[in-house]
A and B are shown apart, each in its own frame.
Chain A
Amino acid sequence: MSKIPLIIESEYMSRVRKKSFLVMTLLTPILMVLLCCIPAFITLFSGADMRNVTVVDQTGLYKDVYQSNDEYTYTYLNIETTAEQMRSDVEPYAYIVITDNLLNNANAMTIYSHKQTTATFEMDVVDRMEEYLREEKLASFDIPNLQQIIDESDVDINVSSIRFDDEGETQTSAGLATIVGMISTFLIYMFLFMYGSMVMSSVMQEKTNRIVEVMVSSVKPFELMLGKIISVGLVGLTQIGIWVLLIVGLGLGVSVAFGIPLVAGNEAEVLAQASNMGGMNTPMGTEIDPDMLEAMQTLAGIDFTQIVVCLILYFIGGYVLYASLFAAIGSAVDNEADTNQFMIPITVIILFAFYVGVFSAENPEGGMAWWCSMIPFTSPIVMMVRIPFGVAIWEIILSLVLLFASSIGMTWVAARIYRVGILLYGKKPSYKELFKWIKYKA
Chain B
Amino acid sequence: MYYLEAKNIVKQYASHKALDDVTIQVPENSIYGLLGPNGAGKTTLIRIINHITGPDSGEVYINGRLSVPSDVEHIGYLPEERGLYKKMKVGEQLMYLARLKGLSRLDAKERIKYWLGKFDIADWDKKKVEELSKGMQQKIQFIATVIHRPQLLIFDEPFSGFDPVNANLLKREILELRKEGATIIFSTHNMSSVEEICDEITLINRSRVVLQGEINGIRQSHKKHLFKVTFANDARIESNQLYDVLEQNVLAGHNTAIVRKNNGAITNNELITALMQHNELATFDEILPSMNEIFIDTVGENTNATV
Contacts and interface: CB of A to CB of B under 8 A. Distances in A.
Nearest to B99: A6
B100 A6 contact: yes
Contact of B83 (A14, A214, A218, A425): A214
A209 B85 contact: yes
Interface in A421-442: 423, 425, 436, 441-442
B87 A14 contact: yes
B144 interface: yes
Contact of A219 (B47, B81, B100): B100
A425 B83 CA distance: 15
A214 B82 contact: yes
Interface string A208-220: 0111011111111
Contact of A441 (B56, B82, B83): B56
B139 interface: no
Contacts of A221: 52
A419 B69 CA distance: 15
B87 A442 contact: no
Nearest to B55: A441
Nearest to B12: A441
A101 B87 CA distance: 78
Contacts of A441: 54, 56
Nearest to A1: B102
Given A423-B52, A436-B14, A441-B56, A217 B83 contact: no
A3 interface: yes
Contacts of A18: 87
Interface string A396-437: 000000000000000000000001000101000000000010
Interface string A1-25: 1010011001000100010000000
B14 A211 contact: no
B89 to A, nearest CB: 10
Given A211-B85, A423-B52, A442-B54, A218 B79 contact: no
Given A3-B100, A423-B52, A441-B54, A210 B81 contact: yes
B305 to A, nearest CB: 29
Contact of B97 (A1, A218, A425): A218
B75 interface: yes
Nearest to A433: B14
B106 to A, nearest CB: 15
B263 interface: no
Interface in B51-99: 52-54, 56, 69, 72-73, 75, 77, 79, 81-88, 92, 96-97, 99
Nearest to B80: A213
A223 to B, nearest CB: 10
A73 B32 CA distance: 95
Contacts of A210: 79, 81-83
A216 B53 CA distance: 10
A7, A210, A218, A419 pick with most chain B CB within 10 angstroms: A218
A442 B79 CA distance: 20
B101 interface: yes
A436 B83 CA distance: 28
A108 B259 CA distance: 122
A213 B100 contact: no
Contacts of A423: 47, 52-53
Nearest to A221: B52
B69 A217 contact: no
B50 interface: yes
Interface in A197-230: 209-211, 213-221
B52 A211 contact: no
Interface in A167-225: 209-211, 213-221
Interface string B201-238: 00000000000000000000000000000000000000
Interface in A205-263: 209-211, 213-221
B72 A214 contact: no
Nearest to A10: B96
Nearest to B78: A214
Nearest to B13: A440
B52 to A, nearest CB: 5
A217 B99 CA distance: 13
Contact of A209 (B75, B86, B96, B100): B86
A212 to B, nearest CB: 8
Contacts of B73: 218
B84 A209 contact: yes
B52 A216 contact: yes
A215 B141 CA distance: 12
B108 to A, nearest CB: 11
Given A213-B52, A423-B52, A442-B54, A218 B100 contact: yes
A420 B78 CA distance: 19
Given A218-B100, A218-B101, A14 B88 contact: yes
Contacts of A1: 102
Contact of B52 (A3, A6, A217): A217
A219 to B, nearest CB: 6
A215 B100 contact: yes
Interface in B81-131: 81-88, 92, 96-97, 99-102
Among all A-B residue pairs, the 9 with the closest Cβ atoms: A210-B83, A218-B100, A209-B83, A213-B79, A217-B77, A211-B83, A210-B81, A217-B50, A10-B96
Given A209-B83, A423-B47, 13 more contacts: A6-B96, A14-B85, A209-B86, A210-B81, A211-B84, A214-B83, A216-B52, A217-B72, A217-B79, A423-B52, A441-B56, A442-B53, A442-B54
5 contacts: A7-B100, A209-B85, A214-B141, A423-B52, A442-B53
